[in-house]
Amino acid sequence: LRFDEKVRVVLFKSQVKGVFCAGADLKERAKMDDAEVGLFVRRLRNLMDEIAALPVPTIAAIDGYALGGGLELALACDLRVAASSAKMGLIETTRGLLPGAGGTQRLPRCVGIGLAKELIFTGRQIDGQQAFSMGLVNHSVPQNSEGDAAYQRALALAKEILPQAPFAVKMGKLAINRGMEVDIASGMAIEGMCYAQNIPTRDRQEGMAAFREKRPPRFIGK
């Protein structure tokens, strides 16, 4: 996906009705020794980092349970859409664990330190509407009879992104992600570098030409 230039947006959805991702299989985990558990969690954290590093926008469609590593998967995405009936939470402390695949870092960056601490310390599960009210998800929608309301809303969101200039969107994502980790002056420098890479693109020229000619732009990602 990372190297396929035809990919503009990546959606994460489940094929299992009522469950986005239920997290680790604790019965499987119980059979591992300490070293195996450590390796398993490191590999899981690396996977989430790879998802977060995808250059195109990513959207998690949460139509059911997103618990533990399942919510960490959603947090690794850029955008999240949840059915109002979905249940999500970093429930690791209820099992004698703590989030180990990025949850302790991505949740506070998403909802703020205070709320993140409350959710992680209590292991609380929240529904889609509660998640929306605290900024954990971008949209909360009523579930439909097919059980894929979040996916349908995520698909509509993806279709809003698709017509935009692909390289500009990628640079925008890069500037935001890198800029959030540094002070604002350094962030401005990162934005400037990303903007400089976008200036010579054919899409920028096409965008200007389309504006002058009062027509929709035809972006090609170059």
Percent of the chain as helix, strand, coil, to the nearest 5: 50, 10, 35
Q: What is the pLDDT of residues 2-33, one digit of tens each?
A: 999 899 999 999 999 999 999 888 788 888 88
At 175-208, the pLDDT tens digits run: 999 999 999 999 999 999 999 999 999 999 999 9
Q: How far is CA 16 from the centre of its chain?
A: 20
- Which candidate in 60, 72, 83, 103 is catalytic? 72
pLDDT at 38: 87
Please pick, among 69, 89, 102, 103, the residue that the annotation labels catalytic.
69
State the amino acid at position 64 in one-letter form.
G
Per-residue confidence (pLDDT) for residue 27, from 0 to 100:
83
Q: Which of 150, 177, 203 is nearest to 52 (CA)?
A: 177
How far is Cα 8 from Cα 163, in angstroms, rounded to an integer? 9
Question: Can you list the residues of the chain whose pLDDT is less than 70?
Answer: none
Ordered domains of the chain (ranges, CATH): 10-162 (3.90.226.10), 166-213 (1.10.12.10)
Q: Is 69 a catalytic residue?
A: yes
Overall pTM > 0.85:
yes
Q: What is the pLDDT of residue 57?
A: 98
| Residue 35 known to be catalytic | no
β-sheet bridge partners, residue 89 = 67
State how far the Cα of 51 lies from the Cα of 43, in Å rounded to an integer: 12
